A and B are shown apart, each in its own frame.
Chain A
Amino acid sequence: MATTACFIIVSRNDIPIYEAEVGSAVKREDVAHLHQFILHAAQDIVQDLAWTTSAMFLKAIDRFNDLVVSVYVTAGHTRLMLLHDSRNDDGIKSFFQEVHELYIKIILNPLYLPGSRITSSHFDTKVRALARKYL
């Protein structure tokens, strides 16, 4: 079943540091822009919601038509945001946890400036593999 999914990592300063279209549906140019717009619009909601709970996984916080935005906030307030149309909550939670581990390994690099773009192609490959596995 073809699923649309757009995944971005946004740093504490509201700058996207990683973006990927990870759905199995055919990628269309016009839809990609819409996905990014929806994710950016959901930022305000995330910022308020993040302070109300000490959990990291915030489940579905916003809807647009039939697309749902799920967010996972790390300790350093880096947001992993996923725009998707499926309802697979457990799969999404596992996906977020695995990407969180990858993200920690990236920031442990002393030469990586926290808040800058993640350019590692290996990271990209692994995220896409995880998306295929869990989503």
Chain B
Amino acid sequence: MTTACKGFLDEQFLQLEELQDDANPNFVEEVVTLYYRDSARLILNIEQALERNPLDFNKLDSLMHQFKGSSSSIGAKKVKAECTLFREYCRAGNGEGCIRTFQQLKKEYATLKKKLEAYFQLARQVGPAETACRPK
């Protein structure tokens, strides 16, 4: 994990890197690519749900539960934190809180995507051993 990614990713990302081997040399990038592909649909669903009046907080909570699960699977620390906050607002029935948090979530999501793209580009240039963080 490069310095640029620190704070945005947690130890789960390191676990993913541990799974990379000769048989699965691009495992992390494949998982992350799938994550951004699948979660784009979830984000759209949440956006549409946030446009409804009145808000269906159960539906929003359920969608965010799923999104949090995916995000935590790749170690997306800040995205996960916003998911948790969003769900708290859902439980409180606070629509404005949900909308505000969702905007922040999308920012963190986009920022992480850029950082990961740069990370994988670097990994391709120097090789995975140089960029992965190996526990001592």
A, B co-complexed: no
